[in-house]
């Protein structure tokens, strides 16, 4: 027995070493941790239970039968983050460049299936050269097997991808199908086709970093939700992020006791909105001030900044925040902001996280670029997402709520549960100037008359009272009461039950 145990330990040590010390040193030299070191940072101490450490590939082409490395380039298993179970896989770049092939994919699929059965999130640490070239089409099959499980797990358990090295070709599509993508700045990149193929096909010369680095994806494309400086910071942030999420779709998001009084009044909010309706203010200030301990986890903070999304807690309970940002493009809705917010609303709804929406929106962005880009369809995504959402929905209109955008932003008509307005709210079909220039077109040119009509329109319609008189707004509140009213509303809604009609699935405009 002793001998067998010794053999086992020997094999385990070999598996621990992955592709060998030289490749581990190379990984470190690039500023990257190894697959196992990453799991040590991500998971609670001594919580990791590894599966399939002895799995090897069965490929016999290109001399592969000579190079079998236990584990086949991915470390899989389950462990805990702040005491809550998660399933993890961590691709080992030191073994065949972390490339994915039959055995590697089977390991990932196995843990995904188990995670779905027991109801625990799946976190993938991606660091891979893509499909293992030596295994050819078998590798492609392996990817598709993972994609299939990504689709099945979607909305069942949270799926988080952490891109910590290359993620090229088909390798991007598993992360893309998960709920959130974290990236490490400077050492990770994602693209469907890399710089070389890009140059051949389009003659465009571009670096990997420019094409698909963390900065590109967290600013331009919006593929990346959160980007951090290095492996350790990124993994520590994933640990914190998980505190906002339930483990599965039949569980409520985790409550965290707070000493922040839910009835706390925030007097400074009374002077936040400028008198001049064209002057911006930072909506994030409202979000921070009304949230527990002023904590707000912003998602995609540098992409489509005209809308702000993220998680906060109210009286200890996680909520999803969606807020128009008057500081950027006056907070209007456009293609990118609609897509950004729609996906977030759907995540929150899938995992029973209540939505708190702050509205200051002058409408949809006009122009051919938006129309040609399909703002009709993309704007409809956000509209659809809010309309189908059955979670508690609380809406606070701080200033403008004009036109179609008023309807879209969790209005009463889309089953908003509690719709409140600040006295500064302007709820109307459009802004006073635009409205007057349409209904009094004949007066255009007569500055005095237009100004008079505009003021008349403003007095009559640019306020919350008409909407309130119809019951579209449940109450007009002083800004300083906002936190108190949100917390009370959430408490009232804690046992809310609402179901949509049966169907196979809906058909959101994609």
Tell me the catalytic residues.
169-170, 404-405
Residue 318 is encoded by which pair of tokens?
A: 């996680």
Least Å distance, CB 227 to ligand HXC, is: 20
Measured from the CB atom, the residue of 23 and 433 that comes closer to ligand HXC is 23
Count of beta carbons in the 10 Å neighbourhood of residue 155: 16
Report the residue number whose CB is nearest to ligand HXC: 170
Residue 152 is encoded by which pair of tokens?
A: 């099945």
Q: Which residue has the tokens 């009559």?
A: 460
Least Å distance, CB 17 to ligand HXC, is: 14
Residue 290 is encoded by which pair of tokens?
A: 């009304």
Q: Enumerate the β-bridge partners of residue 321.
A: 310, 356
CA-to-CA distance for 436 and 450, rounded, in angstroms? 7
Count of beta carbons in the 10 Å neighbourhood of residue 380: 19
Least Å distance, CB 194 to ligand HXC, is: 7
What does residue 404 show for φ and ψ, rounded to 5 degrees?
A: -60, -30
Least Å distance, CB 189 to ligand HXC, is: 9
Measured from the CB atom, the residue of 163 and 341 that comes closer to ligand HXC is 163
Least Å distance, CB 164 to ligand HXC, is: 13
Measured from the CB atom, the residue of 98 and 318 that comes closer to ligand HXC is 98
Least Å distance, CB 237 to ligand HXC, is: 25
What does residue 147 show for φ and ψ, rounded to 5 degrees?
A: -55, -45
Task: Report whether 432 contacts 454 (CB < 8 A).
Answer: yes
Measured from the CB atom, the residue of 177 and 265 that comes closer to ligand HXC is 177
Q: Which residue has the tokens 């400086």?
A: 229
Helix, coil or strand: residue 177:
helix
Interacting residues with ligand HXC (CB under 6 A): 23, 96-97, 99, 129-133, 140, 143, 166, 168-171
The H or E element that residue 448 is part of is helix 447-461
Residue 477 is encoded by which pair of tokens?
A: 């509140």
Measured from the CB atom, the residue of 35 and 408 that comes closer to ligand HXC is 35
Helix, coil or strand: residue 211:
helix
CA-to-CA distance for 254 and 295, rounded, in angstroms? 15
Count of beta carbons in the 10 Å neighbourhood of residue 319: 25
Least Å distance, CB 29 to ligand HXC, is: 11
DSSP percent split of the chain into helix, strand, coil, nearest 5: 45, 20, 35
Measured from the CB atom, the residue of 171 and 486 that comes closer to ligand HXC is 171
User: Half-sphere exposure (CA, 13 Å, Cβ side) for 179?
Assistant: 26
Measured from the CB atom, the residue of 32 and 303 that comes closer to ligand HXC is 32
């Amino acid at each position: 027995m002793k001998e067998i145990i010794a053999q086992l330990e020997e094999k385990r040590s070999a598996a621990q070493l992955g592709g060998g010390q030289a490749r581990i040193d190379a990984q470190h030299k690039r500023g990257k941790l190894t697959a196992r070191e990453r799991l040590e940072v991500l998971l609670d101490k001594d919580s990791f239970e590894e599966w399939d450490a002895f799995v090897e590939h069965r490929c016999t082409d290109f001399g592969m039968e000579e190079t079998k490395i236990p584990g086949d380039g991915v470390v899989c298993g389950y462990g805990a983050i702040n005491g809550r179970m998660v399933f993890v896989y961590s691709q080992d770049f030191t073994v065949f460049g972390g490339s994915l092939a039959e055995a590697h994919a089977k390991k990932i699929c196995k843990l995904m299936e188990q995670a779905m059965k027991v109801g625990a999130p799946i976190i993938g640490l991606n660091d891979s050269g893509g499909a293992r070239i030596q295994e050819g089409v078998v590798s492609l099959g392996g990817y598709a097997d993972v994609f299939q499980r990504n689709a099945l797990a979607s909305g069942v358990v949270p799926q988080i991808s952490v891109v910590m090295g290359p993620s090229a070709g088909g390798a991007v599509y598993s992360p893309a199908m998960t709920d959130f993508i974290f990236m490490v700045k400077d050492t990770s990149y994602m693209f469907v086709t890399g710089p070389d193929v890009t140059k051949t096909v389009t003659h465009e010369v571009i670096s990997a970093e420019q094409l698909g680095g963390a900065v590109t994806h967290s600013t331009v494309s919006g593929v990346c939700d959160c980007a951090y400086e290095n492996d350790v910071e990124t993994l520590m942030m994933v640990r914190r992020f998980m505190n906002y999420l339930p483990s599965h779709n039949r569980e409520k998001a985790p409550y965290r006791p707070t000493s922040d009084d839910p009835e706390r009044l925030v007097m400074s909010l009374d002077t936040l909105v400028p008198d001049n309706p064209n002057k911006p203010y930072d909506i994030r200030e409202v979000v921070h001030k009304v949230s527990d301990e002023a904590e707000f986890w912003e998602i995609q903070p540098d992409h489509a900044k005209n809308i702000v999304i993220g998680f906060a807690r109210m009286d200890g309970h996680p909520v999803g925040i969606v807020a128009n940002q008057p500081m950027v493009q006056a907070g209007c809705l456009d293609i990118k902001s609609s897509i950004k917010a729609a996906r977030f609303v759907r995540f929150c709804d899938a995992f029973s996280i209540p939505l708190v929406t702050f509205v200051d929106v002058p409408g949809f962005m006009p122009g051919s670029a938006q129309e040609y880009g399909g703002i009709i369809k993309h704007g409809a995504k956000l509209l659809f997402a809010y309309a189908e959402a059955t979670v508690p929905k609380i809406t606070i209109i701080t200033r403008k709520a004009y036109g179609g955008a008023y309807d879209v932003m969790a209005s009463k008509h889309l089953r908003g549960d509690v719709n409140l307005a600040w006295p500064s709210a302007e709820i109307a079909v459009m802004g006073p100037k635009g409205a007057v220039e349409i209904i009094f077109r004949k007066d255009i040119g007569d500055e005095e008359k237009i100004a008079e009509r505009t003021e008349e329109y403003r007095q009559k319609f640019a306020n919350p009272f008409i909407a309130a008189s119809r019951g579209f707004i449940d109450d007009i509140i002083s800004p300083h009461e906002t936190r108190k009213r949100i917390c009370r509303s959430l408490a009232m809604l804690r046992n809310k039950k609402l179901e949509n009609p049966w169907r196979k699935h809906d058909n959101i405009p994609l």
